[in-house]
Structure 1
């Protein structure tokens, strides 16, 4: 019985590594999307707040209300700035995870190609041996017939 090829073990490990990298990529994509949704919510909140101020245009508003409004908008703008940085970091992590997954995928494909090449070589060797046996049988048959006549 033929000894199992160690490349099959390498392939199994490569497939597992690729699957793990794919899970990490999916998690990073989901985290990135979650962070972007939070950013969008903050931007919409700021826009709604600005619309409220626009709706009060023409009405008399106190200076303290106006100061509070601007202080609050500044705080929302700061939060948006922080969230932009968080989104950028999440997107960077997603990019790293995608690159990692692509590397694992490439490694798996390389091992598969090696196994395929070995299988083709084994087939060619077996076919060559079979042809050699057929040729040997034919020549023996030819000589036996020649000896009989």
Structure 2
């Protein structure tokens, strides 16, 4: 049997889909890592705010209070920047998801073509076999008919 070029196309499509799946997995991991970092920053800010709340009612030096607010603003800015990083990672993840789905669709299309070709080949073989069976049956019928007339 001659090598079907579609088999090569299928092999390449499978490899492309696998690569896209690996990139998607990496993007999902990166996104989750960025989300975790954002949550850590938020938790850190919350803990820091709780420390200030715990000191309420006590005398706090003005320079400590200013330093505290400066630090909270820095944490807020880090949170804002991390939100942008998370958003970018989410977009990358969505892009990778779409790319993987496209590769998956291409692979499935090639598999479908191969399946149709195989069905068509089987149909041709079945017709050829039926034709041979019919010819054989006709020849036997003619032989019997000739033998009975002799």
Alignment correspondent of 2:139: 140
RMSD of aligned Cα (Å): 0.4
Structure 1 range deviating more: 60-69 or 126-135: 60-69
- Runs of 4+ aligned structure 1 residues displaced above 4 Å come to none
- Quote the residue 2:99 is aligned against: 100
Residue 64 of structure 1, CA deviation: 1.1
Structure 1: distance between partners of 2:97 and 2:19: 12
- Tell me, in whole angstroms, the C-alpha distance in 2 between the residues paired with 1:148 and 1:66: 120
Q: How does the TM-score come out when normalised to structure 1?
A: 0.98
Match of 1:124 in 2: 123
Deviation digits for residues 48-93 of structure 1 (CA, Å, limit 9, x no counterpart):
0000000000001111111111100000000000000000000100
Distance across 2 between alignment mates of 1:130 and 1:15: 35
3-state SS of the aligned residue for 1:59? coil
TM-score (norm 2): 0.98
CA apart distance, 1:13: 0.2
Structure-2 residue corresponding to 1:66: 65
> Following the alignment from structure 2 to structure 1, what is the Cα–Cα distance between the partners of residues 111 and 142?
46
Which residue number corresponds to residue 89 of structure 1? Answer: 88
How many residues were matched structurally?
148
Deviations 1:5-60 (A, max 9, x none): 10000000000000000000000000000000000000000000000000000001
| Number of the residue aligned with 2:49 | 50
Counterparts of 1:130 and 1:4 in 2: how far apart (Å)? Answer: 23
**Matches of 2:3 and 2:139 in 1, distance apart?**
36
Gaps of 5+ in 1: none
Alignment of 1:16-55 (within 5 A): 16-55=15-54
